[in-house]
């Protein structure tokens, strides 16, 4: 690794470069930071060496000065002769390079029998550029153990992002490593029109679901804040999504939770829905979970009315307090004025709305009139069907998402997204939540705003519910 630094009145930066075989690794950033690391496969070792020489000339021309052993007089690699142009068909896959390098290197110590090593790997938080067909290239990324690829085959899959793979990931990391990560490799890539992985699995919990409040008298109903988090069902051993997929929480996050089922949300705070989704989707069981709390609002297995179920939860956690879990506060609603006042207070704090529970109601699976949601705005699920290029400040990145409602109505949403989301938007086919004020006469959401991807959603179930009762 050769290191170069730039220090002047306006900058204090570093840049590092090295190569192994045909792979060039660069890292850059502010002095004192970890910086950003990328890997790029140039096809051959000669091309990699030539690229490094070119980049070093560019950096030194900008004022970067080499530091470390090479600058102190240690032998530096001689510039490689300019290679002859290679035919496109001769582009070598990075996995093949990694295999060849491994074959010539000293044999590593044997890995544990339950560990499958990758041929090569993408650093956590980094990316790798790999060759595609013809002259195209694709970017592989690793975000906390969730691997992605910019190729259409990866983007257009309708399965959860941490369950996706493609030929570029399998070629780079190896079939065995990808199979170990996913549990099993797909027999074939899902077609763009398929619904693979979108239906509830065998472990889907029997959740109680809400209707919208229909202006009925709320007096005496139990009122609580509607949390802007990720719905999670604790089955006594693990967290499950609405579709039965597991949220991979660290063992320390689960400490102190009971061996009976709990219904609640993984909550990062008001206005932090997207952060909660991103943490819940991670599969590395890392420290990011410390930014979440498990807020519990029901005990599904307790065969009693709502008041007794909440009393059971309060008593249990009073004897066994845990810092990362708490029971949501409920209070009786005193009528329409009380409901309106509390809704204004919660929304002023950045909350999403309120929930109402019928007194004495039992926990039942499915959508029920015993649970109502109260909000000043509306939201709906929509599926991404395309992208619109940005203009002006957003030129060169996403301008708007092209969306489809469950009834087939199409519209666009271009507000509510961060710059980072415009640079790497959700994949086509992914289900997102959109907030809006009302529907036009044509059924199009008025003033729509992007909220974020659904952590776990079945498009088939959303379409069926819409067809049966409308967007509730």
Q: Which is nearest to 41 in space by CA: 85, 95, 89?
A: 95
Distance of CA 323 to the CA centre of its chain: 25
3-state secondary structure of 472: coil
Q: Left, alpha or beta for 335 (phi > 0: left; psi -120 to 50: alpha)? A: left
CATH code for the part of the protein at 209-374: 3.30.470.30
Model pLDDT, residue 18: 87
Locate the domains of the chain by residue range: 2-86, 90-182, 209-374, 378-469
Q: Judge whether 270 and 228 are in contact, CB under 8 Å.
A: yes
The model's pTM:
0.54
CATH 3.40.640.10 for the 2-86 domain, yes or no: no
Model pLDDT, residue 109: 41
Indicate which residue of 13, 226, 373, 395 is catalytic. 226
2-86 and 378-469 in the same fold:
no
Q: Judge whether 172 and 119 are in contact, CB under 8 Å.
A: yes
Model pLDDT, residue 269: 94
Q: How many CB atoms lie within 10 A of CB 409?
A: 15
Q: Which is nearest to 234 in space by CA: 324, 161, 109?
A: 324
Tens of pLDDT along the chain (472 residues) come to: 789 888 877 678 888 988 887 778 888 788 887 777 777 777 778 888 888 888 888 888 778 888 876 554 444 443 333 333 333 333 233 333 333 333 333 433 433 444 566 777 888 777 888 887 666 778 888 877 788 888 877 776 666 677 788 888 888 888 888 888 887 776 543 333 333 344 566 788 999 999 989 899 999 999 999 998 999 999 999 999 988 888 999 999 999 999 999 999 999 999 888 889 889 888 778 899 999 999 999 999 999 999 999 999 999 999 998 889 999 999 999 999 999 999 999 989 989 899 999 999 999 999 899 999 998 888 889 999 999 988 888 888 899 999 999 988 999 999 888 888 888 888 888 899 998 877 887 888 988 999 888 867 778 878 877 776 654 4
Q: How many CB atoms lie within 10 A of CB 28?
A: 17
CATH 2.40.50.140 for the 378-469 domain, yes or no: yes
Chain length of the chain: 472
Model pLDDT, residue 92: 35
Rg, C-alpha atoms of the chain: 26
Model pLDDT, residue 93: 36
Structure tokens at 375: 């909000």
Model pLDDT, residue 69: 60
Model pLDDT, residue 104: 38
- Phi then psi for residue 400, to 5 deg, are -155, 155
Whether 40 is catalytic? no
What DSSP element (H or E) covers 61? helix 45-61
Cα–Cα distances (Å) from 8 to 11, 95, 258, 301, in that order, read 5, 41, 58, 65
3-state secondary structure of 101: helix
Model pLDDT, residue 105: 37
């Amino acid at each position: 690794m050769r290191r170069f630094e730039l220090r002047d009145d306006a900058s204090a930066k570093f840049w590092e470069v090295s190569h192994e075989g045909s792979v060039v690794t660069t890292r850059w950033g502010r002095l004192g930071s970890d910086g950003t690391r990328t890997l790029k496969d140039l096809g051959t070792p000669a091309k990699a060496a030539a690229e490094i020489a070119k980049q070093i000339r560019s950096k030194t021309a900008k004022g970067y000065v080499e530091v470390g052993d090479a600058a102190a007089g240690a032998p530096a690699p001689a510039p490689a002769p300019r290679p002859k142009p290679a035919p496109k068909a001769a582009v070598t896959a990075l996995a093949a390079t990694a295999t060849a390098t491994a074959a010539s290197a000293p044999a590593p110590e044997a890995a544990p029998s339950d560990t499958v090593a990758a041929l090569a790997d993408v650093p956590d938080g980094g990316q790798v550029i790999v060759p595609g067909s013809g002259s195209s290239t694709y970017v592989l990324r690793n975000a906390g153990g969730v691997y992605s690829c910019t190729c259409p085959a990866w983007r257009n899959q309708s399965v959860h992002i941490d369950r996706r793979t493609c030929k570029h990931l399998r070629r780079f990391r190896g079939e065995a490593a990808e199979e170990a990560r996913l549990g099993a490799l797909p027999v074939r890539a899902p077609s763009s029109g398929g619904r693979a992985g979108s239906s509830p699995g065998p472990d889907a919990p029997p959740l109680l679901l809400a209707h919208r409040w229909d202006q009925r008298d709320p007096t005496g109903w139990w009122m609580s804040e509607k949390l802007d988090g990720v719905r999670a069902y604790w089955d006594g051993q693990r967290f499950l999504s609405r579709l039965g997929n597991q949220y991979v929480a660290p063992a320390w996050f689960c400490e102190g939770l009971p061996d009976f089922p709990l219904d609640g949300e993984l909550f990062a705070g008001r206005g932090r829905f997207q952060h909660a989704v991103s943490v819940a989707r991670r599969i590395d069981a890392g420290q990011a979970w410390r930014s979440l709390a498990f807020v519990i609002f029901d005990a599904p297995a307790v065969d009693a009315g709502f008041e007794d179920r909440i009393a059971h939860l309060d008593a249990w956690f009073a004897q066994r307090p845990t810092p990362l879990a708490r029971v949501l506060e409920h209070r009786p609603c005193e009528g329409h004025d009380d409901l309106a006042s509390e809704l204004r207070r919660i929304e002023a704090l950045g909350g999403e709305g309120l929930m109402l529970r019928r007194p004495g109601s039992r926990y039942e699976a499915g959508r029920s009139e015993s649970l109502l949601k109260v909000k000043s705005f509306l939201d709906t699920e929509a599926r991404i069907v395309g992208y619109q290029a940005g203009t002006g400040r957003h030129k060169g990145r996403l301008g708007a998402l092209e969306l489809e409602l469950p009834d087939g109505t199409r519209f666009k949403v271009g507000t509510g997204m961060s710059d980072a989301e415009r640079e790497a938007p959700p994949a086509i086919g992914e289900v997102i939540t959109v907030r809006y004020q009302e529907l036009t006469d044509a059924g199009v959401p008025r003033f729509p705003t992007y909220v974020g991807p659904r952590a776990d959603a079945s498009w088939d179930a959303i379409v069926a519910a819409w067809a049966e009762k409308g967007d509730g």
